[in-house]
Amino acid sequence: MAAREASVPLATATAELKNRALNAIALALETHADAVIEANAVDLANGQANGLGAGLQDRLRLDRQRLSGLADAVNQVAALVDPVGESVRGQTLPNGLKISEVRVPFGVVGVIYEARPNVTIDIAALALKSGNAAVLRGGSAAENTNRVLVQLIQDAIGSVGLPPNAVQTIDEFGRDGAKQLMQARGYVDVLIPRGSAQLIDTVVSESRVPVIETGAGVVHVFLDESAEERIAVDIVHNAKVQRPSVCNALETLLVHASSADRLLPPVLARLRDAGVVIHADERTRAIFADAVPANEEDWSTEYMSLDISVAVVDSLDDAIAHIRRYSTHHTESIVTNDLANAERFLAEVDSAVVMVNASTRFTDGGEFGFGAEVGISTQKLHARGPMGLSELTSTKWVVRGSGQIRG
C-alpha cells in the first residue's frame, strides 16, 4: 500500500526532480562505499559458508570499481530523456477530436531476484526515472548488502522531497514475502523475475500479477565456414571469459564442419589457456583432444562458469536447427564473411538479440545506451531484449474535444 501511495506523486514528478533524486543516489553510492562493501563482505562470507556457487558469488560481489560503475550508470539514467508523457502517435479526427497515445508509468513494479545487488540500484534508478515505485525482493544471499543500498536510496529520494517509500525491500519477510508479492494483484502492476531458470519458472507459474519474463541465457555463437580466425578467436574468448557468470555469456559454440580443422584449434586453445573446461562432441574431440565428452544435458545448460559446450555442424541450417532446439531465445551470434548467411541468420534465428560478428556480451542495457537495464526480456509481449526506461511504461489515450458527440 505504501508503494501504491508513493507511486501517485512519482507519476507526475518533473524530470528535473527525478534527476535530482538519481544524482543524490549516485553520490550516496560514492560517499558510503565503505558501508556497502562492509555489508557485502558479510554476504560473501555467508555465501561461501553456505556453498554458494562461484558464478553467483561473482554476481554478489561489490567492490569500489563496481560501485563506481553503478554510480555512473545512475547518472547516465538521469541524463536520458524522460519517457513519461512522450507522444507515441496521434491525429486529429475528421470531427475535430484530437487524440494522442502517451507514455505513462506502470505504477508499482515488483522485482524478485537472486544474489545481484547491482539489480537493486539498476531497478531503483530506472523505476524512479520512469515514474514508478519499486518493491524489491533481493534474496537472502544479498540481504545485508541490499538493506544498506535501499536505505541509501530512500535517504537520497527523501532528500529531494520525493517519498522514500518509492523504493522498498521486502527481504525481511523471506520467501513468504516473495509469495505475497506474487499474489499482490491490484497493489503491484507488473512483476519482473531475474535469476535462475527455476526462479523465473516459479514466478511465471505462481504469480497472479502480470509478469515480464527475463529468461536464462543458453547463448550460442556459430562460426561459419567463412569466419576469419582472428575475429573468431577474439569474439569467442570475450563472449565466454570476460564475465562468465552473466546471462549474456557464451554457453554453446557451434562450428561449421568445413572450417572446423582451421578454427577449432586456435579458438579452443585460447579458451583452454583461460581455464575454460570444454565439453565437446566427438567431431570436436577428434580435432581438439583436450576436451571432455559432452552429453545431452550440456546443450541446454547455462553454466555461468568457465565451461562451454562445443559441437561441429554440417551447415548453417544445422546450426539454426540446433539453436532452435536448445536456445532460451536470449542472444545468438554468427561470425561470418558471407553476407547472405549473415542475413539468413538474422532473419531465421528467433531470439531477443541476434548478432553478426560481435560478442554476445554486448546484450546489455548499458551497452545499448539505456544507462542500466531492468533485465533481458526473452518473451514477446510488451518488451523483448534489454529493458530500459520505455519498457517500464505503458500508454494511455488522451482525447481533447470541443463539445463533440457521437451520432
Chain Cα centroid distance, residue 296: 27
Exposure string over 129-138, b if 16+ CB within 10 A, otherwise e? bbbbbbbbbb
Question: Cell 555442424 identifies what position?
Answer: 313
- The full DSSP string for 267-335 is HHHHHHHTTPEEEE-HHHHHH--SSEEP-GGGGG----SSEEEEEEESSHHHHHHHHHHH--SSEEEEE
Q: Which residues are CB-contacts of 101 (< 8 A; sequence separation ≥ 6)?
A: 87, 88, 89, 90, 395, 396, 397, 398
Reference 365, options 107, 45, 6, 121; nearest CA is 121
CB 146 within 8 A of CB 117: yes
What pLDDT sits at residue 375? 86
Torsion, Cα 241 242 243 247, to 10 degrees, reads -80
Reference 238, options 119, 325, 367, 347; nearest CA is 367
CA 212 – CA 194 distance, rounded (Å): 10
What pLDDT sits at residue 199? 86
What pLDDT sits at residue 277? 98
Do β-strands 108-113 and 133-137 pair in parallel, antiparallel, or remain unpaired? Answer: parallel
CB 150 within 8 A of CB 120: yes
What pLDDT sits at residue 382? 85
CA 103 – CA 197 distance, rounded (Å): 31
What does the angle CA 35 – CA 36 – CA 40 come to, to the nearest 5 degrees? 120
| Residue ranges covered by each domain of the chain | 2-214+377-400, 219-362
- Mean pLDDT of successive 10-residue stretches along the chain, which has 407 residues: 91 96 97 96 94 86 95 95 96 97 97 91 96 94 95 97 96 91 94 86 92 88 98 98 93 98 98 98 97 96 95 98 96 98 98 97 91 86 90 96 93
CA 136 – CA 125 distance, rounded (Å): 13
Question: Cell 517519498 identifies what position?
Answer: 163
What pLDDT sits at residue 225? 96
Q: Which residues are CB-contacts of 8 (< 8 A; sequence separation ≥ 6)?
A: none
What pLDDT sits at residue 358? 98
Question: Cell 541524463 identifies what position?
Answer: 79
What pLDDT sits at residue 59? 86
Instruction: Write the CA distances from 92 to 99, 100, 158, 403, integer angstroms.
Output: 6, 9, 42, 15
Fold (CATH) for 2-214+377-400:
Aldehyde Dehydrogenase; Chain A, domain 1 (3.40.605)
CB 248 within 8 A of CB 220: no
CB 328 within 8 A of CB 213: no
Torsion, Cα 86 89 93 96, to 10 degrees, reads 10
- Residue 98, C-alpha cell as written in the block: 484530437
Domain 219-362 coded CATH 3.40.309.10: yes
CA 309 – CA 297 distance, rounded (Å): 10
What pLDDT sits at residue 115? 83
Q: Which residues are CB-contacts of 328 (< 8 A; sequence separation ≥ 6)?
A: 197, 215, 216, 217, 218, 302, 378
